[in-house]
């Protein structure tokens, strides 16, 4: 389902940009390959792909839960806040350090202390 997942990510990127979201290249820690863009690298992180898959499987979810063994980067944190607001659902991401509860109002329970 990778084609569907990346198509959903593209739609979420477009909606996020319409709502004023800006992709921050400072979260990229390596050189870009010639066929990569800042957006493609940042939106390829596992938690965003899992959220997109959940949105495909259930188009209007009330709750999405993600568990990962690494910390959430700042881009994914900000983008997930925007996704929760756009999709009007609760998203919970448990990372290596804490549990982030992203609310439909675009806020996170960690109060941006990730």
SS3 for 65?
A: strand
Contact of 100 with 108, CB cutoff 8 Å: yes
pLDDT, residue 42, reads: 84
Contact of 4 with 75, CB cutoff 8 Å: no
pLDDT, residue 52, reads: 95
pLDDT, residue 63, reads: 95
Q: Tell me how far the alpha carbon of residue 7 is from its chain's centroid.
A: 14
pLDDT, residue 13, reads: 92
pLDDT, residue 36, reads: 85
pLDDT, residue 83, reads: 95
Residue 64 pairs in a beta bridge with 91
pLDDT, residue 60, reads: 86
pLDDT, residue 24, reads: 84
> Tens-of-pLDDT digits for all 114 residues of the chain?
999 999 999 999 999 999 889 888 888 878 888 888 888 888 888 999 999 999 999 988 899 999 999 999 899 999 999 999 999 999 999 999 999 999 999 999 999 887
Query: Rg (Cα) of the chain, in Å, rounded?
Result: 13
Q: Which residues fall within 8 angstroms of residue 98, CB to CB, at 6 or more apart?
A: 110, 114
């Amino acid at each position: 389902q990778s084609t569907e997942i990346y198509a959903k990510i593209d739609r979420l990127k477009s909606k996020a940009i319409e709502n004023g979201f800006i992709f921050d290249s400072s979260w990229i820690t390596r050189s870009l390959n010639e066929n990569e863009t800042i957006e493609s690298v940042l939106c390829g992180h596992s938690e965003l792909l899992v959220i997109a898959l959940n949105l495909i499987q259930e188009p209007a979810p009330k709750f999405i839960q993600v568990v990962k063994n690494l910390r959430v980067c700042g881009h994914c944190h900000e983008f997930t806040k925007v996704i929760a607001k756009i999709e009007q659902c609760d998203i919970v991401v448990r990372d290596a350090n804490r549990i982030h509860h992203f609310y439909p109002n675009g806020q996170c329970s960690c109060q941006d202390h990730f």
